[in-house]
Structure 1
Amino acid sequence: MPVLGEVHTIAGGFSGGGHTASQRKKYARGVNSIEERISGNQWESDLVFTRVDLQDVVPHDNDPVVISVVTAGRKVHKVLVDQGSSADVMFWSTFNKLRLSPDLLRPYTGCLYGFADNQVELRHYLELRSTFSDGAASRTENIRYLVVNANSTYNILLGRPALNRLNAVASTRHMKMKLLDLSGTVIVIKSDQEEARKCYENSLKTKRGVFMVFERPPSADTAMEVEVEPLNEATPTVRATPEADTHAEERQDAP
């Protein structure tokens, strides 16, 4: 059967050691080395899902796990738990809604792969203390979010780096994410199924995201400038093609 194309998950970011070759090599050496794991680690407690976790779940057709997170002093809804993403992503619109200072943004020179089947060049990331709670117990960790200027029905994508840092386990069948607080108590965060369905339906209606990528050749005297601008949805993005250039030349030569 012929292969017509490929569909990728989001790859890149800080997963796999980092965005530089030296960081990735160091990570590979650590993965390939044999280490004895410390027994009795509190984070190695069993996180299991049982039939009890299904009691409050509305029957669904593969709903995504969508939760809320408290960060920068505000509760952020529409946070997609995306185990297929190698990066924790915050969208530029969310950054603006949180009223964060641009001074918090740090330069990032790596790329993400998999957004709309394109390579997305990034310029910024920021680190925020984010709290995950079920109302009875909570856990707060520093999460590094890559800032992406793209249209999305979600505010944040919570990828493998954050899930591994939290030692969290998510189940789409049970519509929950579980993790431990610092005392070893299990935190059970329920997915907002109504919100999840709205996000999914809106994502089908939303036009394909447009990425504002600013490319400036590096200078020996000055460092590359860093910019992030909000999208202007009313202005379509037009990309020149070789055919368009040829037609333009013919019109110029015509009497």
Structure 2
Amino acid sequence: MPVERQIDVIVGGSAAGGSNSSARKSYARSSVEKRPRPELEPEISFGAKEGERSHHDDAMVISIQIANARVKRVMVDTGSSADVLYLDAFKKLGLPTEDLIPMSSALMGFTGDSISPLGTTTLPATIGEEPRTKTIMTTFMVVNLPSAYNVILGRPTLNKLKAVVSTYHRAIKFPTSTGVEESRSDPGESRRCYLTAVSLPKRVRPHIQDPREKAATPTHLEPPEQLIEVSLKGD
């Protein structure tokens, strides 16, 4: 069947392009460079026996180590172009907001809503269990928003990990110096996060007055009730 039209994807965020307009335009125009083949790495695959026996649509929720703390409720999101650390978790790590590096770009949502992060912080993130662990210096955008999660791991960290994510298998696999490690999502934790997320208060968008509303507003206010004439002259 011939193709009659094309539907493009929706993209957003700074990703690898940087935080300013000129850097992003340069990144978009750049060609893909051919790199030498990496050293032989272990094969990463998911077997049929690892498959789920029941249908599910759960988010991928794992635990990782950030600095010297074990952090739960970390959502793995291949659709996110940024690694996000929520302010509440940032404070629990014992880090001062004064050390955040300011940034000018905003985080954009699927519907076009945006929020300005408080800043960025670079911390060591360790994924996996001994002896198969991997530690990556991760630059997190710190945001002040209510969330069911403590952290969102996006494409920057997942690509550094060379991770393969399977939401069907509820697992993320990545190579280490001692073989392939696997971090599995906890279904119970994932569903608790879902219940928390749907109960969070919604962000209220500020009302922007339509110019037509202003034009339609009467300049002369009418009284709410009918007027009664009263004579000021004495009898």
Q: Which residue of 1 aligns with 2:183?
A: 189
Structure 1 pair 109–59 and aligned structure 2 pair: CA distance change class (3 A):
same
CA distance in 2, matches of 1:252, 1:207: 39
Q: Which runs of 4+ in 1 moved over 4 A?
A: 249-255
Residue 116 of structure 1 and its aligned partner are, at CA, apart by: 6.1
Q: What per-residue deviation string (whole Å, max 9, x for no partner) do you get for residues 115-166 of structure 1?
A: 6641222340111000001344100000111111111101111111111111
CA distance in 2, matches of 1:161, 1:207: 29
TM-score (normalised: structure 1): 0.73
CA distance in 2, matches of 1:52, 1:200: 27
Structure 1 pair 41–23 and aligned structure 2 pair: CA distance change class (3 A):
farther
Q: Which residue of 2 aligns with 1:133?
A: 128
Q: Secondary structure of the equivalent of 1:59?
A: coil
Residue 198 of structure 1 and its aligned partner are, at CA, apart by: 0.7
Residue 22 of structure 1 and its aligned partner are, at CA, apart by: 3.1
1:124–1:146 Cα contact (<8 Å) kept: yes
Unaligned runs of 5+ in 2: 1-8, 224-235
Larger Rg over CA atoms: 2
Residue 26 of structure 1 and its aligned partner are, at CA, apart by: 3.7
Q: Secondary structure of the equivalent of 1:107?
A: coil
Q: Which residue of 1 aligns with 2:200?
A: 206
**Higher deviation after alignment, 19-28 or 91-100:** 19-28
Residue 205 of structure 1 and its aligned partner are, at CA, apart by: 1.7
Are 2:87 and 1:92 equivalent residues in the alignment?
yes
Structure 1 pair 142–58 and aligned structure 2 pair: CA distance change class (3 A):
farther
Q: What per-residue deviation string (whole Å, max 9, x for no partner) do you get for residues 53-108 of structure 1?
A: 23xx5734211111001002111100000011111111111111212122431011
Tell me how many residue pairs correspond in the alignment: 213
1:8–1:117 Cα contact (<8 Å) kept: no
Q: Which residue of 2 aligns with 1:227?
A: none
Q: Which residue of 1 aligns with 2:28?
A: 28
Q: Which residue of 2 aligns with 1:50?
A: 47
Unaligned runs of 5+ in 1: 1-6, 211-236
CA distance in 1, matches of 2:103, 2:125: 21
